[in-house]
Amino acid sequence: MSVLKLKNSYTRQIEVFEPLFPGRALMYSCGPTVYSFAHIGNFRSFLFSDVLRRVLERNGYEVRHVMNITDVGHMTEDHLADAQGEDKLAKAARELGSDPFKVAQHFEKAFVEDARALRLKLYLGGEAAEPGQHPRATEHIPEMLAMIQKLLERGYAYIDSAGQVYFEVAKFPEYGQLSGKKVEELEAGARVEVREEKKAPEDFALWKVDAKHLMQWDPHSEKGWRPEDWKRYRELAPGGVDARVRPGFPGWHIECSAMSRAHLGATIDIHTGGEDNMFPHHECEIAQSYGAYGFTVPGPHGAADEHHARKTFARYWLHGRHLLVDNRKMSKRDGTFFTARDLFNPAFNGRADLAARLEALGFKGGRVLPAVLRYALISNQYTQPMNFTLDLLAQAKASVERIQRCFERLREIVGPATDADIEGPAGDRMLSLVDAQERAFDDALNDNLNMPNALAAVFKAVSELNSMELGKAEAVEGLRLLESFDEVLDVLDRRERSGLLTRQEIDARLERPLPEFESLAAAEMDALSVAGFVALRQAARKAKDFKRGDAIRDGLKARGVLIEDTSQGVRWKLE
RNA sequence: GGUGGCGUAGCCAAGUGGUUAGGCAACGGUUUGCAAAACCGUCACACGCGGGUUCGAAUCCCGCCGCCACCUCCA
């Protein structure tokens, strides 16, 4: 198997991935801010990190992946480099008429639902239950305060007269290295407002004081704290934070530094996020972590070897490019803003026009299956901007269905066979196909997650499998190959929800009564009734009454059941 | 204004010096009562424009044009 190479934003080079600890990969991804429903751009970024962790796993690494939930601290009216402005959660709370913690809970729950639907591994299986894998900012105030105290003690931060804490950027000359920004240019841009209390305009808030803010923590009193948090705070910072720091809330960037350290340790292998995170968020994370824990300063761009030889905060920085809709930044006004759930069920989410457009593109009921959205969002390389269109979704649907049909055909060939039924080993042509395409798939993904090339291998395999006459042993190998691809893609529907009806089954079904066809709603379509109508249609066809046969087929199609006649019998499946 | 990036056939999208991906759509054929699926074929001697380097350029260099993002919370 080829070696995994990733593009490190910090060095701007494609580098061989070498973890800090052999066989393990520690990975942190900047997660969602839960003040509204996550949109498809957010999910493209999260899915990029999901594909990366799955590729790491294929390379044999034991992956520990952490993605935070930001439920405090991001502003809406933030033209400033400090934490002026109303908290987004507070704003959502005001609009929804409830308290900000409830709003965060509400949208976090929605996020988890969407994340599961889109098969984010972090939210599937055992990991879903591990809070350390998706830590909440509000539950890590102790870690943040302890870090702020360290920054104060080490001289990287200062306190203003209001009791707020700022990071002093001048103390960290490497600030700007990740994003390629120069502090002088930031000042020249005049978009960083000068605040009297700050020593320099580029200094950023670590702790903010604002009485109007709804989420508050008093660093000097137990009141209002969750008991376990207060206890941990006293353990992490026995003397507490500097007495001049007043009650308030954390700044924008400190949470990720504090939480990645708490759950992954001082040095992590990979830090991912959207390209917009590069500056200032990740730049500030580097500055804070360096200041608080005294890592060796990362080397300059191009000095990859030196950089890796040293102990640092994050060894590889990976950034996903943004998603555009119709070649523009998503815009609610232009109707190009989509949350995941808008696409899953537009009509239910009050977007009848979107439902109609999707229906016209062949989406049954105007609904996009999560697997189709997942495929669409992972189908190009993360280093390229993605231009999302509804047409792209339609193409993704066709692609997923092509893979799915191949999978179902193989499964039919294998049938309920046990090992004893399978004769001999698969043929050489099959074995070399499996070997070559699995390798091509891995090579492409190991080449900085080149998904288009990986998908080329998938479709090459699908074409060949479709054109081969397969015995059970071959089909088993083919299934294994598709399931191997699906460890990364995760778009196959493996449920038994359709199948081939044999002549005997159809005849047997004809003997039993059927519900009234015209009155049967789509939702009532189950395997039994479908089998019944298939039987009716077959009887009509046998009698050469093709008009009636086609009418039944059309009626079933209108209810989301597709009929296919094959040489072995009649196949049906849900659309 | 500063920084980074993009422009490849009807659409999406790999490919960074020489046999050239893959998917979708459309069309033709095989198959089918008709479809669907599948297979075969066509569209495809494609690479924003103009110069240059080279035996050879989508790929390297120079100059344009168009588009996007970031520089401010944002995936």
Report yes or no: A41 and A330 within 8 Å, Cβ to Cβ: yes
Nearest-5° angle of CA A376, CA A378, CA A381?
120
Which residues 537-556 of A interface with strand B at a CB distance below 7 A?
541, 546, 549-550, 553
Tokens of A500: 């081939």
Radius of gyration in angstroms for the set of CA atoms belonging to chain A, rounded to a whole number? 28
Point out the residue nearest to B2 (C-alpha to C1').
Answer: A185
User: What ipTM was estimated for this complex?
Assistant: 0.94
Report yes or no: A403 and A479 within 8 Å, Cβ to Cβ: no
Which residues 469-508 of A interface with strand B at a CB distance below 7 A?
none
How is residue A423 annotated by DSSP? -
Chain B bases closer than 7 A to any CB of the protein: 1-6, 11-15, 21-25, 32-40, 67-75
Mean pLDDT of A57-74: 89
User: pLDDT tens digits, residue range A431-463?
Assistant: 999 999 999 999 999 999 999 999 999 999 999
pLDDT beyond 70 at A300: no
pLDDT beyond 70 at A304: no
pLDDT beyond 60 at A373: yes
| Residue A185 CB lies within 7 Å of the nucleic strand B | yes
Q: Counting every residue, how long is chain A?
A: 575
The whole-model pTM stands at 0.91
pLDDT band at A81 (very low <50, low <70, confident <90, very high): very low
| Residue A436 CB lies within 7 Å of the nucleic strand B | no
User: pLDDT tens digits, residue range A467-516?
Assistant: 998 889 999 999 999 999 999 999 998 765 555 666 666 666 666 666 66
Instruction: Give φ, ψ of A216 to 5 degrees.
Output: -135, 145
Distance A395 CA to B26 C1' (A): 14
Residue of higher predicted confidence among A504 and A60 = A60
User: pLDDT tens digits, residue range A402-432?
Assistant: 999 999 889 888 887 777 777 778 888 899 9
| Residue A276 CB lies within 7 Å of the nucleic strand B | yes
Residue of higher predicted confidence among A171 and A557 = A171
How is residue A139 annotated by DSSP? G
Residue of higher predicted confidence among A521 and A111 = A111
* Residue A276, burial from CB neighbour count under 10 angstroms (0-12, 13-18, 19+): middle
Nucleotide nearest residue A564, measured CA to C1': B36
User: pLDDT tens digits, residue range A225-279?
Assistant: 999 999 999 999 999 999 999 999 998 899 999 999 999 988 899 999 999 899 8
**Comparing C-alpha atoms, which of A37, A29, A44, A36 is closest to residue A387?**
A44
**Comparing C-alpha atoms, which of A263, A288, A313, A295 is closest to residue A147?**
A288
- The pLDDT of residue A554: 85
| Residue A278 CB lies within 7 Å of the nucleic strand B | yes
| Residue A466 CB lies within 7 Å of the nucleic strand B | yes
**H/E segment holding residue A185:** helix A183-189
pLDDT beyond 60 at A337: yes
Tracing tokens 């009650």 back to the chain, one arrives at A247
- The pLDDT of residue A138: 93
Mean pLDDT of A169-188: 80
Distance A387 CA to B63 C1' (A): 29
Position A240: which residue type? G
| Residue A150 CB lies within 7 Å of the nucleic strand B | no
| Residue A327 CB lies within 7 Å of the nucleic strand B | yes
| Residue A414 CB lies within 7 Å of the nucleic strand B | no
pLDDT band at A518 (very low <50, low <70, confident <90, very high): low
| Residue A67 CB lies within 7 Å of the nucleic strand B | no
Provide CB contacts within 8 A for A130, sequence distance 6+: none
- The pLDDT of residue A118: 95
**H/E segment holding residue A316:** strand A314-320
| Residue A2 CB lies within 7 Å of the nucleic strand B | no
DSSP for A38-69, please give it. -BHHHHHHHHHHHHHHHHHHHTT-EEEEEE-B
Q: What percent of chain A has pLDDT over 70?
A: 85
Average pLDDT of the residues of chain A: 85
Report yes or no: A89 and A35 within 8 Å, Cβ to Cβ: yes
| Residue A221 CB lies within 7 Å of the nucleic strand B | no
